[in-house]
Every structure is written in C-alpha cells, then in structure tokens.
Structure 1
Amino acid sequence: MRVAIASFEFEGNSLSLRVARKEDFARFGIFHGEDVTRVAAGKQFSITGALDTLTEAGVEVVPIFMSRCVSGGHVDDTFYDEVVDIIAEGISAALPLDGVYLSLHGAMICATEKDPEGGVIRAVRERLGDPAIPIAVSLDLHAHVTQRMADMAQIIVGYETYPHVDAYRTGACAAGLLVRAMKGEIDPVTRIRKYNAIVPVLGGATLGDEPMAQVAALSRGLEAEGRALSVSYFPVQPWLDMADVGVTGLAVTDGDPAAATEVAQQVLDAIWDRRRVFELPAMTPAEAVRAAVDYPGRTLIVDAPDAMGAGAQGDSPALLSALLEVAPETDAAIYIVDPETAARAFELGEGAEAEFHIGAKQDDRWFRPVSVVARIERLCDGRFTYSGGPASGATVTTGQTALLRKGGVRILVGSFPFYEHMDEHYAACGIDIAGCKIASFKNLMNYRKLLGPGVQYIPLHGPGGAPLRLQDVAWENRQRPFWPADDTDQPQPLPATA
C-alpha cells in the first residue's frame, strides 16, 4: 500500500482584516517532502497521528507538504494557488497511489476560491484520476464542511474535543479507516446534514456535561452501537459570512449512504436542540475587572471579541484601558499585539520609561490606542513551545516582545498574533500568572485548562473581530432566516441537504 499525505491548515474569519500570506505561514513553518516526516515526528499533530498509523500498518508513506498559520481573515490567493499546485504536483509525482490522507482545518477563506478545502480535495481527486482511490481527511471541530468535500472524500473525521486535545487521535482515526478501505475491509461513504444556524464558540466546550459534551457522547454511542464507522459534529466557525455555512452532522458508514444520512441527521438535531444553551453570560471590560477585584481568588479574563484563536487581530486595548482605569495597582497580566510599540521598546532598552500609545493599530474600527507612561521591564523574542493542544510540541514566536509595567499591570506587547494554548507565552517572557490576580487570554477555550480551586473565568462581550453575540453582526451574505439572528423554532436545512 502506498499513500501520499499532506497538511494545509488555516481558520478564516470574515470579520477579520488580516490577510495570511506566505511569510505568515513561514513563521510557523513550510515543509516539503521528507521534511514533513522529520518535523511531524513525535508531535501531537493530526498528520503525525496519520503518519504513525500508516507506518504501523506497513504502508509506504509519501509526504508532500505541511504548513499551518494562526487564524485570521483570509489566505492570500497567490499562496493558496501555490500550495494547491504543490500538493497536486506531488500527487502526480507519487503515482501510483492506493490512497491519500489530508490534514485540513476546514474553515479556510480565500478571496477567489469560495471552498478552499474543497478545492484542495478536488485537485487531489483530479490527479488521482480513479474515483475509487480513497481519500481520508481530518478536520477541526469548527470546520465548514461543504457538500463538495463530502462528495470527493470517502472518509472525513473531525476533532471530538474542545479544548482541542485529540488532533493526533483524529488523524490516526482517519488514517485507520483509510487502511481498512485500501485492504478492502470496508467501503466507506461520507454523508452530511446541515442547518442554517451558527452557535457561539464560547459555550461549545466538550467538558463535563456541557451541551457539546452531550453531543459528543451521543456520537460515540452511535459508533459503539455499530451505526457508523465514525461520527463527527461541526458547530462551525461562526464568523464565516457565507451563504452555505451552518452547523453540521457527519457520518461515515460501510457502504450504506442511507444509514450515514440518518446518523448525520440525528447528530445535527442534537446540536439544534441545544442551541439556546450555547450562549454564556459575559461582561464589559470594566464590569469584568471590578468583579475580578472583588473575587477572593484569581480571575482569567477572556477577551473573547479580540480572540486571536478565532481570527481577531489581538490588538484591542479595551481591557487594558479598563485595567488602568479600574484597578491600576492590581497585579495583572495582559497580552496585546502592537509591533510598533514593541519595536520602540527595543530601541529604548530595558529599564527605560516612556509614554506609549498601545493597541488599535492593526484594527482601528472600534478603538483608539491607549496612552500610558510605562517602564520597560524586559525584552524577549517571544519564543515558546506548545505544551499541549493541536500544535503540541511546535515552537512559535510572538516576535519582538516587550514587557511593560504600569503600577501593578504588566503589559506584554508582542509583534505577532498567535494561537494561545495556555500560559506559555507569558512564561516565555518571565511572567508567572499564578502570582497575578488577573490574567487575560485572547482565546475562547484553552484557558479552561488553567482553572481550578480559587480560579474563575469571566468572558468579555463587546465589539471586535470575534463578537460573542452573533445576532448583532451585520451579516451580508448569510441566507435568512438563520439562528440566532432569527428566533425560529423550526430549523432551516441548507440547500445542499434540503
């Protein structure tokens, strides 16, 4: 058995101004051929799970390409086209093949190609020539799964956890089904069902008995009953302003498309039935700081509207302004993207004190920079290694990073947005958040790993690139009616599955 593998991962956001170009992907690594195997080895990536599973099955693996980037607006057309060509040419060069595995996110946006992941799979399918050669795809839980993707890939498997801790398992599962298909043990078919609805990301944890955890339990139960080979649920990246975006149920069965459709519908209905409980209470920045000061323990403030992991710029100064106004002497730590301020701090040097105008330079649609006289405590390169999550083991950098101090507030000013896992970025610059009464995070879920006795979290609401209240967004392309903009009791199937 001979299998080609490739990975191209990016999560888009229609409300974000950020364009991801080749140099942005290069900061996280662009790898070709055998370098893919070398870099993936020992990590917890999806492609690593697939690689290990295929190798253990005695498969000859042909690595083609691997790259990922922090969430943002959309991928530059030129780089997208370049990558699709690289993957397609790699498939042609690797022929004959018995199968293909692709690690994709599922929520990429491009200016021209309206279904980027579908475009990747189509390019692979065209180069394979034979429609019977199986393609297996692993996706993020927040993927926007299109009908074209389901039509061209016999196997699609999504993450089952949020916070994401099962990227490796997901890749291994997809590759395991691929091996069985190549051996002729199964004849996998994938079917999806979709409703014209989106739900808040913040309430989508698969922890404990939360709503999405119940959907996860249902899905695993359907697999255990033998109703499907694999069951996935996609609450979708909600800040995608496209007509065909919606929550999705997906099932892979052994040669039974009707059963796959039935199971996918059952999972989809489970998400719909819980739609009202995905929305969690939130506060304004000032309210959150006051509540944190009054709380006897420590507080993690979740700057949801500016969540870098959701594609926002990471340079909103709203929380910084509230900290300086409400609790300037309280021990607090906050990260903000501002390459201009970071560069100026490097020019001035450690120990210098100066007036800085921080934030709202990359995205000035809602706020203006905050002026503050602060001391430069430390300068660093912002380099750290992820200790967990889908990028576990990967090393990234926030670029030139300056730790500024004003009263009790430590302002970590970085040059790049990035995907926060836990507190690795703070620790890399000498901040131990265990000693902070308040610490902020621009991520919608991973902070939960830091919760415990005496540690609470408070999410923020307000304007930004990833607003919590989805019904307040000025959508331009979505079909109406849709949940939650329209409070309807009847779900609206999207055209592809009506």
Structure 2
Amino acid sequence: MKLAIVGIFHETNTFAPGKTELEDFAQEWIGGNELFHQRYEHTRTSMGGVIDGARVELAAITCGLYTAAPPSGMVSRRTVEALFDSVVSSIDLSADGIVAILHGAMVAEGFPDIEGELVRRIREKAGPSKPIAVTLDLHANISKHMVEQVDIIVGYDTYPHIDAYERGVEAVQLLAQTIRGVIKPVSAFVQPRLLLVPQVMLTDVAGPMQELMDCAFAIESDPKVVNVTVAGGFPYSDVPDAGVSFVVTTNNDQPLADHYAQELSRMAWELRDRLKSNGYPAAEAVAMAFAEEQGPVILVEGADNVGGGAPADATHVLKHLINAPKKCLIVIRDMEAAHFAHRLGVGAVCDAEIGGKSGNLNGEPIPITGVIRELFDGKYTHIGPYMTGQWADMGKTAVIEAGNLTVIVTEKRTAPWDLGHVTSVGLHAEDFHTIVVKSAIAWKTAFGTLCKRIIQVDTPGCCGENLYHFQYEQLTRPIYPLDPISYMEESQ
C-alpha cells in the first residue's frame, strides 16, 4: 500500500490586521520524503503520526508538499492560488489513498472555505474512487462541501491540542481500512448554529466541552461508528460556516450517522448557556493577580491570542505592570525593540517604547527602561506535550528587566504553547508571581501544571471574547449568541 501525504495548515483571523502572504509559509515548506522525515519523524505532530501510522499499516508514504504559517490575517489571493497549485501538483497519483493535513479555518480573498476548495481540487485530480482522509484542528469551521469531498475526517479531540499525533495515526489507520475494503465510510454533518469563543472549548477539565467530547467517545464505542469529530469552530473567521459542527462517520450506515450527529447537535444546543466566557478589565485583573499570595498567577489576555492570529503586541495589560510590586513576566512582539536591544548588547540599559504598534485595538506603545539580561536568536524545539519536537522561531529575542517586570521582546509572533519560549532564554516560570499569556487556552500546555490561579482578562483585540464587538458580514445568520434563534429554526 502507498499513501500520498500533503497539507496546508493556517488558522485565519479575518479581523486581524494585514494579510498573509506566500513568504509567511516559507518557514515550514516541506516537500519530498527526505525532508518530511527529517523534519517530522519522532515528533508528536500530525505529520509524525502519519509517518508512524503508515509504518504500523506496512504502508509506504510518498510526501508531496506540506506547508504551514502561524495564525494571522486574511490570506491573499495570489498566495492561495500558489498554494493550491503547489500542493495539488505534488500529489503522487499512483498512491492508493491520500492524507491531507489541514486546519479547517483557513480563509483567503475569494475563498471563504480554503480547505473545501483544496479537497475539491484534490478530488478532481485523484478521481472519484481514490480514498481521501483529512485531519482537522478542533477549531475548524467545517463546511458541508468539505465533508462531501472526502471519505474520512478526523478532528482533534483536545484543547489544548495534545493529540495531533494520535489523530494522524488514526487518519492513516482508517484510510488503510478503507483501501482494504474493511470499512465503507459514510458521514453525517450538522451545524447547531452556535458561535463560541476558544475560552469555553477547554476539554481537560469538567465543563460543557468535555461533556460533548465524552458523548462523542461514547458514540465511538458503537462498533458501527468509525469516527466522531467535534469541531468547536473559530469565531474570528468571518465566513458562512463559522461555528460549532459535528461529523459522524459510520461503516456504511447513513441513518445511524444521521441519528448520532443530531444527538450531538441537540446536546450542544442544550449546553449553549454554559458555553460563555467573561473576563475582567485589565486594571482589575492585574490588581487581583497581585493580591494573590502565591504564584504563578496566569493573566489570560485572550484578545491578543497569538494562536488566533492576533498581533501579540497589545499593551492593555503591560501598562499596568510598570512598577509592579511582585515579579511578573510578559512576552511582547516588537520587531523594532528586539533589533534595538540586539544592537545595544547584553548588560546595556534599553530605553524604548514597546508594543502597541499594530493598530488602535492594541493600545499605545509603553515606555520601558530596563537592563538587557539576555539576547537570543529565538530558535527552540518544543519540549512539552504540545507537538513535542516541533520547531519554533521567535526571531531576534531580548530579555529586558525593569524592576519586577521582565519583558521578553520577540521579533516574530510566537504562541505560548510550550515552556521552551521561556526556558530558551534562561528563565523559569516558577520564579514569577504573575505571568501574562497571549493565548486563550493553549497556554496550559506550557504553564498549566505550574499556575496557582487563572484570571481571564477582557481587553480589546481581534480575538476578543465579546463577539458582539465584531462586525460580521459573511457569517450565516441567525446564530447564537448574536441573534434570537431556536433550535427548531436552525433545524429548518
């Protein structure tokens, strides 16, 4: 058996400033078996899972193009066309099946459903009978069109996402069973018309999202069920299909798939009032943090969530940390300040205005005078449970200490998914009383085992938790919580 592997991975925030261009994908542009294995073998990524899954199935893999860019703004038209051409042309048509590693919330000018369009083009090239499996992020905005083009959809089961590897293995396993004729996948797809913020999609503690996942796992215990994908969706992509969705795949039993999909949809609808998040204004949140005797206390600045495409330079919290009474840490992306610090050198006093340079939503630059304690090229490897072994690059990085405030200034946006972005510059999270994370939930794979308290901060930004602040133009309406809507209206 031979399997072709391709993929594009990008989470697009259509409210974020700027556009995502082809050069943004250059950092992770991997084509051919040698490079693919060199980059991903022995990593706990989807790609590493595909490699190991194929080995278990005694299948050869032929790697076309896999590319990814950090979450960011709208993808340009020229970029998406180039990506389509490069990925589709790289597929080995002699393969018995195809695995596409996708995100599910990628958007480009003229293409609100990039993954749906990509799999349509793959299907057109591969023909109607060649099995196709895709892996998706839990924040995918799945479309009916996407489901109709493929045989298998396998979405992440966790948030923070720590099962990308397992889902890659599973996708290969189910694809191999399809090729061998062991299963004949049929799928049901349903959208309960719910728009959720990432903060309420936590799956590793008791709550509504965990209850949905437990229900999905119970359904998967039915021997006729092949896979259940629960997608929380990504509310910062203004597209028709944004929101919660479910895909239930059975072994040639469409009525059963339909039944289970509707069961999950009704359950999600009944949980809707619990699927809400509320935070505190920045000044109040900071005061609450410093009032705690023990740390680390995590201030979650979700509105500037790097993992959701935000600029990572918001200063709404930073301005309240000047002259902090206890040791605190924040990471700010500021290319100018990072380069300035590198010119000054370790031990020099850096007097600079930091952050607040990407737009009105992100506050004003904050004057900071501090000593440069460390300079770093920004390259590290994930050491924690999130995609262990994945490469990361913060660009030119400087550690500036101003009294009790430590600022890690980075050239590039880097999400706090791994402790490596702190330990790589010689810092230890447990040494700080308060840590600001520009994330929604995924920060837990870095600091979750260390923190003593979590405080949600409600600030402006393109990943804000108050969805009423966003001007949606493409989103299918009505949808909860933005509109008055009943489940019966949705089902019609």
Q: TM-score range by the shorter chain?
A: over 0.9
Question: How far is 1:403 from its partner?
Answer: 1.1
Number of the residue aligned with 1:290 = 287
SS of residue in 1 equivalent to 2:72: coil
* Residues 375-386 of structure 1 aligned to structure 2 (within 5 Å): 375-386=371-382
Number of the residue aligned with 2:394 = 398
* Residues 68-467 of structure 1 aligned to structure 2 (within 5 Å): 68-91=68-91, 94-129=92-127, 131-298=128-295, 299-324=297-322, 327-449=323-445, 450-452=447-449, 455-467=452-464
Q: After the TM superposition, which of the residue ranges 42-51 and 329-338 deviates more from structure 2?
A: 42-51
SS of residue in 2 equivalent to 1:379: strand
Supply the AA of the counterpart residue of 1:483: Y
Question: How far is 1:328 from its partner?
Answer: 2.3
Supply the AA of the counterpart residue of 1:460: V
The 1:114/1:281 distance shift into structure 2, 3 A limit, reads: closer
CA distance in 2, matches of 1:5, 1:475: 35
Question: How far is 1:454 from its partner?
Answer: 6.6
Aligned 8 A contact 2:311 2:413 in 1: yes
Tell me the number of residue pairs that the alignment of Structure 1 and Structure 2 aligns.
Answer: 490
SS of residue in 1 equivalent to 2:321: helix
The 1:229/1:437 distance shift into structure 2, 3 A limit, reads: same
TM-score, length-scaled by structure 2: 0.95
CA distance in 2, matches of 1:453, 1:82: 43
Instruction: Please state if 1:483 is matched with 2:480.
Output: yes
Aligned 8 A contact 1:30 1:66 in 2: yes
Counting aligned pairs with the same residue, the percent is 27
Question: How far is 1:390 from its partner?
Answer: 4.8
Aligned 8 A contact 2:350 2:400 in 1: no
Instruction: Please state if 1:66 is matched with 2:66.
Output: yes
The 1:124/1:7 distance shift into structure 2, 3 A limit, reads: same
Q: Deviations over 1:198-253 (max 9, x none)?
A: 11211211113221111111011011123521111111011111223221011111
CA distance in 1, matches of 2:305, 2:75: 18
SS of residue in 2 equivalent to 1:412: strand
Unmatched tracts of structure 2, length 5 or more: none
The 1:229/1:470 distance shift into structure 2, 3 A limit, reads: same
Question: How far is 1:452 from its partner?
Answer: 4.8
CA distance in 2, matches of 1:153, 1:491: 29
Question: How far is 1:33 from its partner?
Answer: 4.1
The 1:35/1:453 distance shift into structure 2, 3 A limit, reads: closer
Task: Give the alignment's Cα RMSD to 1 decimal.
Answer: 1.8
Unmatched tracts of structure 1, length 5 or more: none
SS of residue in 1 equivalent to 2:182: coil
The 1:454/1:472 distance shift into structure 2, 3 A limit, reads: closer
Aligned 8 A contact 2:304 2:462 in 1: yes
Question: How far is 1:124 from its partner?
Answer: 1.1
Aligned 8 A contact 2:361 2:460 in 1: no
Question: How far is 1:419 from its partner?
Answer: 2.7
Supply the AA of the counterpart residue of 2:37: T
The 1:270/1:227 distance shift into structure 2, 3 A limit, reads: farther
The 1:452/1:125 distance shift into structure 2, 3 A limit, reads: closer
Q: Deviations over 1:266-303 (max 9, x none)?
A: 12222222122122331111111111111111101111
SS of residue in 2 equivalent to 1:202: helix
Q: Deviations over 1:156-204 (max 9, x none)?
A: 0100111111101111111111111100111112221013221121121
Question: How far is 1:487 from its partner?
Answer: 4.4
Question: How far is 1:70 from its partner?
Answer: 1.3
Number of the residue aligned with 2:3 = 3
Supply the AA of the counterpart residue of 1:58: L
Number of the residue aligned with 2:20 = 20
The 1:453/1:321 distance shift into structure 2, 3 A limit, reads: closer
Q: After the TM superposition, which of the residue ranges 313-322 and 425-434 deviates more from structure 2?
A: 425-434
SS of residue in 2 equivalent to 1:64: strand
SS of residue in 2 equivalent to 1:15: coil
CA distance in 2, matches of 1:452, 1:427: 15
Aligned 8 A contact 1:356 1:371 in 2: yes
The 1:81/1:391 distance shift into structure 2, 3 A limit, reads: farther
SS of residue in 2 equivalent to 1:269: helix
The 1:389/1:236 distance shift into structure 2, 3 A limit, reads: farther
Question: How far is 1:374 from its partner?
Answer: 2.3
SS of residue in 2 equivalent to 1:230: strand
CA distance in 2, matches of 1:189, 1:98: 19
Question: How far is 1:371 from its partner?
Answer: 1.6
SS of residue in 1 equivalent to 2:477: coil
Question: How far is 1:23 from its partner?
Answer: 2.5
Number of the residue aligned with 1:48 = 48
TM-score, length-scaled by structure 1: 0.94
Q: After the TM superposition, which of the residue ranges 178-187 and 258-267 deviates more from structure 2?
A: 258-267
